Amino acid sequence: MATATGNPTKVQRNRDASTRSKSSAADSKRRLLVEPDINGPRVRLGVLWFLLAMAAVTSGRVWIALLCSGVSAVAGYQLTRLWNSQRKAPKRSKGSAKNAPDPGNGLVLATVISGTLPLLAGYSTGATGLGFIVAPFLVIAMHTVRGGNFSAAVPTLIGSLLPPIGAVSIVLAVRFNLWAGLFLVVAVSLYDAGSFLHGAESSSRWEGPAAGIIGVMAATFTMAVFHPNPLTPVSAAISGVIIAITCPLGQMLASRFLPRPDAKARGLRRLDAYLVAGPLFYVAVVIMMG
């Protein structure tokens, strides 16, 4: 019960705290969404990436594996460098200078691993899975041998494993079926185009993803109508819905693993929409069409 002086009750204070908490959570989700910027070469790079991806997909698994390997390696390098720049350089004594962990070695290792995993995907699904299992142990072992600890290995782990998730899923989809891979690349590219171009002119960060989802549904409708073998209307519709729902989640996941959501990581942003959509799409088409 409120006092005569008008002080808020405990219940009212709890309600205010709950409202602030919900508002803070909503603001956090909005910050994780990509804020498009059409200045500079970003639009041209996006168009170039789409053209290269389409050419590589239609050329077969070897070419798409090479393209995804290059993009993933760049993303792994940039991501590891961003995280290393946030870490304070450790103080080195004369006796420990030789064995102290060198961030440069982490950059090289992250670049090599993130570039190798998509190449493995072009060869064997089993080899790719083994690569994802072995890579973390290799990274931790390298940092441990050089006198580091687990926290020092985290930037390299993030750079080594996050970008290949999206890149590998593209290669696996193309290996499974050309039309499935083409569907994935076209749908995600339309999402990226809608999210980027419409979001750049919008006052709300949610309008960009909404426009991107419309683009995905357009690609889904086309595939469901023509359903090239082995796609069926039902499998195309289900796969398209999966892509539409999960593309924004991939962007949020990428932002979560950046030092700041607005950090410059162009390589990762080429793959972010695939991070969740790609693996789920691949699993779905294998189950429905395998």
Say what the pTM is.
0.82
Q: Where does the pLDDT of residue 209 fall: very low under 50, low under 70, confident under 90, or very high at 90 and above?
A: confident
Amino acid letter, residue 12: Q
What pLDDT is stored for residue 207 in this prediction? 81
CB atoms closer than 10 angstroms to residue 140: 18
Q: Where does the pLDDT of residue 37 fall: very low under 50, low under 70, confident under 90, or very high at 90 and above?
A: low
Q: Which residues contact 245 (CB under 8 A, 6 or more apart)?
A: none
Preceding omega of 230 cis (within 30 degrees of 0)? yes
Share of the chain above pLDDT 70, in %: 76
B/e letters for 28-42, b = 16+ CB within 10 Å, e = fewer, are eeeebbbebeeeeee
Calculate mean pLDDT across residues 178-198.
Answer: 91
DSSP 90: P
Distances in Å between the Cα of 215 and the Cα atoms of 117, 211, 232, 236, 270 are 30, 7, 20, 15, 17
Calculate mean pLDDT across residues 103-119.
Answer: 89
